[in-house]
A and B are shown apart, each in its own frame.
Chain A
Amino acid sequence: MFKILYLAFSAGALGLVLFNGPSGSLLTGSPDKGKVSLAKAKPATPGTTTASGMRPGGSSLAMWAFVAGASGGYQGGK
């Protein structure tokens, strides 16, 4: 049993390096995620984060990312 477990776990660990290592989806932190919608620029409302950027087409669009407070902002300081 010990031998089988050893080989199984080791093979799994090697497989993890080989197959999951490139994407790193299992052993990395996962940031907050959310859907965004593309919209014309509007006045900002509380609780939202506005991202202004140039679309490939050159038109100026505002993105309303509903991931408000995703990073939580800075909480430290002396």
Chain B
Amino acid sequence: MAAQAPPAPAKVFREPAQTESVQCPCCGGPITLTGFGGIEQVACPYCGSELSPEDSGALSVMKQLQRQQRTSALQLHTRGTLDGIECEVLGIVWRECNVDGATYPWQEFLLYNPYRGYRWLVYSMSDHHWSLGATLLGAPRVDGGSMQRAVEFKKTSYRHFQTVNAVVSYVEGEFPWQLHVGDNAIAHEYIAPPVAISIEESHMPDGSADVNFTSMCHIEGSDVWKAFGCEGSPPELSGVGSVRPNPYKARGKFVWAAFGALMAALIAVSVIYIGGRTNKVIYDKSGVEGIGVVSQEITIGEGDSDTTLEVEFSAIALSNQWAFVDIMLINIGAEEAMGFGLTAEEWHGNTGGESWREGKSKQSVTLGGVKSGKYLLQITPSTGGPKTPVKLKPGQKAPPPLKLKYNLRIKENIVLSRYIFIAFFVIITFPLINVMLGFFFEGKRWRNSDYSST
């Protein structure tokens, strides 16, 4: 007896899902259904009629409409991979709000992946910024502590940016909920760039309210173009989007880290620099009297290196008098001379019943790049009184002849703090510029908010 053949194996898996192509009962346009069983409403892309999918696969007319098809940034049923998830544009909604008489439209693309569910890609038509949204897994906590409205979600605080009345102006494609042109919702946007939370309140005819929480994040237009294989390049951005990351804030981390390192380096360099300076006094004469020429040989520096000099001149007990020293430093070896003058003066008097006093009794000069070697120091002092001689009253004695008594000190290898200040200025300037640019960037962002001062 021959053995019976084993029974055919039962089908383990169901048939793979197939997209269906049906005709719009209103305009006859071909409609591809890819949303499978979760679709509540289909808006014909050609005529805009609102259709309801039947169990039989046919579409019943909910509301017949005749409108022109609009060209959206992405076409219906375009497929792309965003964040590693392949998805398809299942539905397109155009919404708009009116602020101060100006209409701001945007496009929302319902992205669908059978395994990962729905996401929203939002394109602002006014400034060409993109953001990607998904259902918020939870509800944010309202933060009532701050002056500005804010919500908190997962330890991140989101500041209120704007509240608008969003009105649906155009619909096409499949949606897992009922959606009609003219539907409106109060949309509250709370931001913590590059992310945001959108809270939308829709009021139903029966008086109930539907609240939706959506998490949004910034996405570059170029990434959208790349993900969906669009031709050309995305439209140029204008202004600052509400969730666009602040590039200066991102750069600030590097800049401030570099600032810390550079300041540490500046401190180390300054210690080395200051430690290497001797501030050696190579000439110091105090109380020199008269206007006779003084010459003296001095040695400046050591070896072949150049050095710095600080020459300080001060005159003693000047009274309505100027004092001047013409100083010449003559490098004996190189037969080179350099000359400079230093002045001290003191003036006082009484004008209109008010006494006044002015002038400085000392002056100093700093010289750099002075070659080391033996120098002949020549000091030629001079002094004088007012340009206009004081008229003597009858019986008044003529003032005694002017005398000069002065001090002169020369130091070499001195600390020039200007070098350290300039280095500090350079090191601090870049972070400050970055902070200012970041501040201006945020200012431009918030100019579009409910808190704009303009």
A residues near B, CB below 8 A? 2-3, 5-7, 9-10, 12-14, 16-18, 20-38, 49, 51-56, 63, 65, 67, 70-74, 76-78
Contacts and interface: CB of A to CB of B under 8 A. Distances in A.
A70 B255 CA distance: 47
Contacts of A77: 322, 345, 384-387
B12 interface: no
Mostly, the A contact residues are mixed
A17 B328 contact: no
A17 B422 CA distance: 9
A65 to B, nearest CB: 4
B98 to A, nearest CB: 39
Contact of A7 (B258, B293, B296, B347): B258
Contact of A22 (B251, B374, B413, B420): B413
B401 to A, nearest CB: 16
A25 B368 contact: yes
Contact of A23 (B255, B340, B368, B376): B368
Given A24-B308, A73-B341, A35 B369 contact: no
A54 B326 CA distance: 19
7 contacts: A10-B426, A10-B430, A28-B368, A36-B335, A53-B378, A67-B328, A78-B387
Contacts of A24: 306-308, 366-369, 414, 416, 419
Contacts, number: 191
Contacts of B338: 31-34, 67, 70
Contacts of A12: 426
A17 B367 contact: no
A32 B340 contact: yes
B343 A78 contact: no
Contacts of A16: 419, 422-423
B54 interface: no
Contact of A18 (B272, B324, B335): B272
A18 B420 CA distance: 10
A65 B368 contact: no
B276 interface: yes
A77 B415 CA distance: 33
A70 B293 contact: no
Given A22-B305, A34-B337, A51 B423 contact: no
A57 B257 CA distance: 61
